[in-house]
Amino acid sequence: MILSQFIFVPLLAAFLIVLFARKKENFAAAIALAACAWILIVSFIAFFKLPSHGGMILNNTSGWKIPYTICLILDNLSSFMLIVVNLVAFLSAFYAIQYINHFTGKWNFFALFMLMLTGMNGVILTGDFFNLYVFMEISLFSAYALVAFGTESEELEAAFKYATMGAITSTMILFGIGILYSYTSTLTMADVGLQLRSGGTPKMIFLVYGLFIAGFGLKTALVPFHAWLPDAHPSAPAPISAMLSGVLIKTLGVYALVRIFFNVFGAPTVVLQILMLLGTLSIVIGGFLSIVQWDFKRLLGFSSVSQIGYVVIGFALGTPLGILGGILHLFYHAIFKSLLFLDSGAVEYATDTRDLRQLGGLSKELKVTSATNMVGTLSISGIPPFNGFFSKLIIIIACISAGQIVIGIIAALVSIVTLAYFLKVQKHAFYGKKGSAKVLEKVPFAMKTAMIILAALCLISSAIMIPSIRKNYLNPIVETVMGRTSYIDKVEPYLDNGSVK
Amino acid sequence: MWNNYLFLLVVIPIIATIINLFVPKIIKKLITLASVIWSLVLSIKVFSATTLSFSLFGSTIFQTDTLSKFILLFINILSTIILIYCLKNVNKEYEGKFFLLFALTVSFCNGVAVSSNMIAFLIFWGLSGLLVYLFGILNAPKSAESSRKAFIIIGTSDVLLLFGLAVMYVVTQNSDLYLTKITLSSVLTYIAFFCLLLASFAKAGAFPMHTWLPDYAKDAPIEAVAELPAAMDKLLGIYLFARIMMHLFVYPFAIQAIIMIIGALTIIFAVMMALVQHNARKLLGYHAVSQVGYMILGIGTGNPIGIIGGLFHMLNNAIYKSSLFLSLGSVEKRTGTSELEDLGGLARKMPLTFIAALIGALSISGIPPLNGFFSKWMVYQGILKTASQHGSIWQIVLNVCFVLAVFGSALTLASFIKFIHAIFLSKLPKKYEGVKEISFNNWFANLLLGALCVIFGVLVFAIPVKLFLLPIIGAGSIKTLLLGFYSSKIILYFFAASILLGLIIYLVFKKIRFDDEYVGTYPTTEEHRATGVEFYNEISSMSPFNKIYKWANKKYFDIYKWGTVFSLWLGNVFHNLHSGLLHTYAIWMLAGLVVVTIILLSAI
């Protein structure tokens, strides 16, 4: 039962907000925050209870057994993802309590926020393809609405682009699912995997690969499917940008890619090579694009394209070390990128602009923001002992030991570019000469607290690199991904024997 | 854990910093001082112990050998002296933060010196580089640009180190720096070697990674410049360089020759730039680059005398360069400027600072019997010795390096005559007539560094060579290594004799006429004051130097500038492709799908 909470609690919160909190907007924030806190605690409980369940908890949602019913599956990878998503969601929601005062329709915001969270948790937990699609659409549609939340022309345009491109690729994904269903007559992921394993690889499956790479590639914002992101992420309110860049692209994108291609299709080499190529392109193009941006949040958006490339090449290496690097970078990036987006939100809140050319000298006036931004900058640029250093180190070592020396060099070089564009932010926003923008308003308490907690996490989360912790908590996750079809093997006992083999 | 000296060396200053977060300014100073002195005592204990080690999470992370003990000791000695200087007269605006960072500096530099584990080394290396930035932005907004430049280049050094060590780890499957030795053979090993080499160059400030240093020296708080780029970064950068050359790699002679050429180029390029600077901080900054060339040349020779010379020069440079920065700092605190044109005649007003600066200037110019002479002399010997062991082409190349090094030394003297003359000797501007000598702690620390220069010069065999340098290369006696004959006593006698002679001449012909100055028939005004810099302007208009200086002013030799130009160009190319039009993006997406599908289909 523990699993359905992840979906029902935020869903319920969303409806409660719409039903009861339309007039009392503080009530809306309270409900949202309570729901987030609740599932954050539950996700930690689930994470620590998981080993005693043999590494997998499977819930059938009806009296039938899979594949005749839909199921929720919690394994090491999904419980880890739940922590990442709900942690960022909680802190973003906390930040939003006061940040959202600048907008009207607070209850709308929180309701959409909760729906988005429902979708993400659903994607992480679901055990079948069609629900993956459904939950993905739930979170995407709330994301489209949230991007347009400011209802200025720029924001509406961004949301429109995002929605159009999202819809095209969702159709591709649905098409892919359709092909799979027509071949295997089942939608349960493990069952699909099982049948493909026993029935050999049909040629048609390559088309599915292509559709899924393009489809989930857009959600991941891999080049050349990235073009929506730099418009959408800056347009959304800051806590939503933090959610989009911090966890949405990872849940709908990276997690789905990894789950499907590693655990269901057994990590075909050609797919890994394509992902490697797309990841490298993203690293380079996203990195160099960031350096010429003057909009604080747009710069962060392009930076996400670049950083997600690191995550993807980590997984695409296919070696245990590479996957470890990918997982770590996914987690760490969620922390420092949400921190940076929240910082940008604080700057915008205080000065009413995000144009770096107009900002300047904020370090004396926005002390917490500039200090936390410093921590975020150092983390994302991989300066030790902040968390980004360790994931970058592992990804680079993994590249070299897998013989991908050129990609290792590119990853290393772009990390210099990363440092360069974040120092640009530091110089122009915080330490350079005073700009034309004035500090109009102080950054309120809740926003500061959320930023400070994330900044502390940038340092504290490095501790999972301590060998004993890594062995106990990270290695099982790596094994889940690495074990490829072990996912199928684990789900197989739950399958109804009458299923078509 | 809490009785392990190596662990304490790193942890005590960090604890001091944590306490410092919560106490008032005056106690902050005391706690910082106490922790740094404690660290000094510990480093002396470590130095006199044989070898120590410290393990964490089941692997050895800290360890010492003769080289690291030597570096560790001087990190702490120099930091203590510089901290004494900082006790008073640090800019009030950032004094509190300054002391927080200072204790951290000591901790992190100690960490670099004692780390034997690759990851620990990387972490402390990165942290010590981060401090350069954090110190730099204390002076924001003035220093925002130069701090950014410094941190990008130093961050590059971190990344290079990370990449180099990652390759070494993959090649050897060993993360202990003390147990790793790689023979350069495959491409991978060459990549590792050059990455580490450039990392050490960026930290120490050698060509082509040096360009952050002069800019940073100009804008950052001067105490921080004396502590980090002038002292600690030299010790750490050259420490890594020495470890690469002596312990980590086995390399062919051609590599050595290339490194020596880089060393010689560093000397001559930087000193030429120093010669024409109008700002004292930049002048010293370029010298901080130029002197690194001698260290690289010395250690690059690969023979014992050259290595001793290079390491000794690193030590000497750390001492006199921080001393010079500190004396400039004193001048700046009293006059508020570091522009050579605006200064002059301060020797009478600030005699103790003058003496310290003079000793530093003579040392860096290599005047015997001061320490700077001796280390350069050993470096020269090392070059000649190496040259004599190789074929005629190499001999010519190395002799050119030798000549450049000697010529560089002469130009160093020339530019320090400018420095001393322009600040202390030329005519005093009217506005500085009320200037007074700097506070006790400032000149005391400054003279302490000067005293080290003298002691290490006069007692060169008895103290630095015997105690610190010979153990590193494991040789018993310096006499067997040296060519020719050198006695500091005789030099001292010559000095005494010439000073005596000067005095006699002065006393015998004691006829000095003081006159007022006139221009035309009018007494000179302030605008006619002869500053100490005009003479040197000739050089920059001389052919072919005028062209080179022009290029240098356009930053053609600045790797940072090229990096910026390239990244902005590439960024703009990508940026222009993003038209913002939905149908363009949709086409990319579909094209992506088509290409991916084609790749997939071709794999069937």
DSSP string, B438-460: PPHHHHHHHHHHHHHHHHHHHTT
At residue B532 the predicted structure's pLDDT band, cuts being 50, 70 and 90, is low
> DSSP assignment, residue A362?
G
Report d(CA B144, CA B189) in Å as an integer: 37
Copy the structure tokens of residue B407.
């010529």
Question: Which residues are within 8 A (CB) of B55 and not within 5 positions of it... i.e. 6 or more apart?
Answer: B61
Angle CA B246–B248–B252, to nearest 5:
70
At residue B149 the predicted structure's pLDDT band, cuts being 50, 70 and 90, is very high
Q: Is A360 on the interface with B (CB under 8 A)?
A: yes
At residue A501 the predicted structure's pLDDT band, cuts being 50, 70 and 90, is very low
pLDDT at position A499: 45
Neighbours of B534 (CB within 10 A): 10
pLDDT at position A65: 77
Report d(CA A121, CA A251) in Å as an integer: 9
Report d(CA B177, CA B361) in Å as an integer: 37
Instruction: Chain A: give the shortest CA distance to residue B165, in Å.
Output: 9
Mapped onto helix, strand or coil, the DSSP state of residue A295 is: strand
Task: Please write the tens of the pLDDT for every residue from B413-430.
Answer: 988 988 998 888 888 888
* CA distances for A33 relative to A109, A140, A454, B530, angstroms: 13, 21, 17, 73
Report d(CA B440, CA B542) in Å as an integer: 44
At residue A144 the predicted structure's pLDDT band, cuts being 50, 70 and 90, is very high
pLDDT at position A500: 44
pLDDT at position B196: 93
Angle CA B531–B537–B538, to nearest 5:
125
Mapped onto helix, strand or coil, the DSSP state of residue B435 is: coil
> DSSP assignment, residue B174?
-
pLDDT tops 60 at residue A490: yes
Window 413-452 of B, Cβ < 8 Å to A: none
Q: A317 forms bridges with which residues in the sheet?
A: none
Residue type present at position B23 = V
Please state the three-class secondary structure of A382-417 as a single string. Answer: CCCCCHHHHHHHHHHHHHHHCCCHHHHHHHHHHHHH
pLDDT at position A167: 92
Task: Please write the tens of the pLDDT for every residue from B309-335.
Answer: 999 999 999 999 999 999 999 999 888
Of A160, A228, A289, the CB nearest to B575: A289
Q: Is A161 on the interface with B (CB under 8 A)?
A: yes
Question: Which residues are within 8 A (CB) of B515 and not within 5 positions of it... i.e. 6 or more apart?
Answer: none
Q: Is B158 on the interface with A (CB under 8 A)?
A: yes
pLDDT at position A369: 92
pLDDT at position B451: 92
Mapped onto helix, strand or coil, the DSSP state of residue B203 is: helix
Average pLDDT, chain A: 89
> Which backbone phi and psi does B89 adopt, to 5 degrees?
75, 10
At residue A1 the predicted structure's pLDDT band, cuts being 50, 70 and 90, is low
Mapped onto helix, strand or coil, the DSSP state of residue B523 is: strand
pLDDT tops 90 at residue B543: no
Q: At what angle do helices B5-20 and B25-48 cross, to 10 degrees?
A: 180
Task: For residues A132-140, give the mean pLDDT.
Answer: 94
Report d(CA B286, CA B30) in Å as an integer: 34
pLDDT at position A103: 84
Task: For residues B117-139, give the mean pLDDT.
Answer: 91
Average pLDDT, chain B: 87
Dihedral in degrees, nearest 10, Cα atoms B74, B75, B76, B79: 110
pLDDT at position B471: 84
Report d(CA B244, CA B326) in Å as an integer: 31
* Helices and strands: H and E segment counts in chain A: 21, 2
Task: Please write the tens of the pLDDT for every residue from B77-121.
Answer: 999 999 999 988 888 888 888 999 999 999 999 999 999 889 999
State the count of interchain CB pairs (< 8 A) between A and B: 172
* CA distances for B497 relative to A405, B488, B506, angstroms: 65, 14, 14
pLDDT tops 90 at residue B433: no
Q: What does the domain layout of chain A look like in residue ranges?
A: 1-266+485-501, 290-465
Q: By C-alpha distance, which of A123, A335, A306, A310 is closest to A246? A: A335
At residue A165 the predicted structure's pLDDT band, cuts being 50, 70 and 90, is very high
Residue to mutate among A204, A220, A289, with most B CBs inside 10 A, is A289
| Contacts with A412 from chain B: Cβ below 8 Å | 159-160, 162-163
Instruction: Chain A: give the shortest CA distance to residue B166, in Å.
Output: 5
> DSSP assignment, residue A72?
E
Residues B14, B104 contacting (CB under 8 angstroms): yes
Q: By C-alpha distance, which of A257, A264, A131, A263 is closest to A192? A: A264
Residues B303, B386 contacting (CB under 8 angstroms): yes
Question: Which residues are within 8 A (CB) of A66 and not within 5 positions of it... i.e. 6 or more apart?
Answer: A58, A60, A127, A128, A188, A190, A191, A491, A494, A495, A496
Report d(CA A176, CA A217) in Å as an integer: 14
Q: Is B467 on the interface with A (CB under 8 A)?
A: no
pLDDT at position A411: 93
pLDDT at position A101: 84
pLDDT tops 80 at residue B539: no
| Contacts with B599 from chain A: Cβ below 8 Å | 270, 273-274
> Which backbone phi and psi does B296 adopt, to 5 degrees?
-65, -45
Q: A126 forms bridges with which residues in the sheet?
A: A72
Weakest mean pLDDT among A61-75, B250-264, B373-387, B473-487: B473-487
Residues A173, B594 contacting (CB under 8 angstroms): no
- pTM for the whole structure: 0.92
| Contacts with A273 from chain B: Cβ below 8 Å | 599
Name the E strands within B172-302: 182-183, 249-250
Mapped onto helix, strand or coil, the DSSP state of residue B43 is: helix
The whole-angstrom distance between residue B391's C-alpha and the CA centroid of its chain comes to 33
Helix (H) or strand (E) holding A20: helix A2-20
Task: For residues B135-161, give the mean pLDDT.
Answer: 90
At residue B485 the predicted structure's pLDDT band, cuts being 50, 70 and 90, is low
Chain B residue with the nearest C-alpha to that of A172: B593
Report d(CA A434, CA A424) in Å as an integer: 15
Q: By C-alpha distance, which of B124, B98, B93, B100 is closest to B19? A: B100
Looking at A148-268, list the stretches that DSSP marks H as alpha helix, in order from N- to C-terminal side.
153-184, 189-199, 205-220, 229-235, 238-243, 256-258
At residue B276 the predicted structure's pLDDT band, cuts being 50, 70 and 90, is confident
Mapped onto helix, strand or coil, the DSSP state of residue A127 is: coil
Residue to mutate among A423, A464, A465, with most B CBs inside 10 A, is A423
| Contacts with B221 from chain A: Cβ below 8 Å | none
Residue type present at position B108 = F
Window 201-260 of A, Cβ < 8 Å to B: 203, 206-207, 209-211, 213-214, 217-218, 224-225, 227-228, 230-231
Task: Please write the tens of the pLDDT for every residue from A16-42.
Answer: 999 988 777 788 889 999 999 999 999
Q: By C-alpha distance, which of B284, B592, B353, B348 is closest to A165? A: B592
pLDDT at position B340: 85
> Which backbone phi and psi does A77 adopt, to 5 degrees?
-65, -45
Looking at B137-179, list the stretches that DSSP marks H as alpha helix, in order from N- to C-terminal side.
144-172
> Which backbone phi and psi does A74 adopt, to 5 degrees?
-115, 115
Weakest mean pLDDT among B47-56, B505-514, B516-525: B516-525
Q: A72 forms bridges with which residues in the sheet?
A: A59, A126
Contact A397 B169 (CB under 8 A): yes
Instruction: Chain A: give the shortest CA distance to residue B21, in Å.
Output: 14
Residues A92, A239 contacting (CB under 8 angstroms): yes
Report d(CA B21, CA B6) in Å as an integer: 24
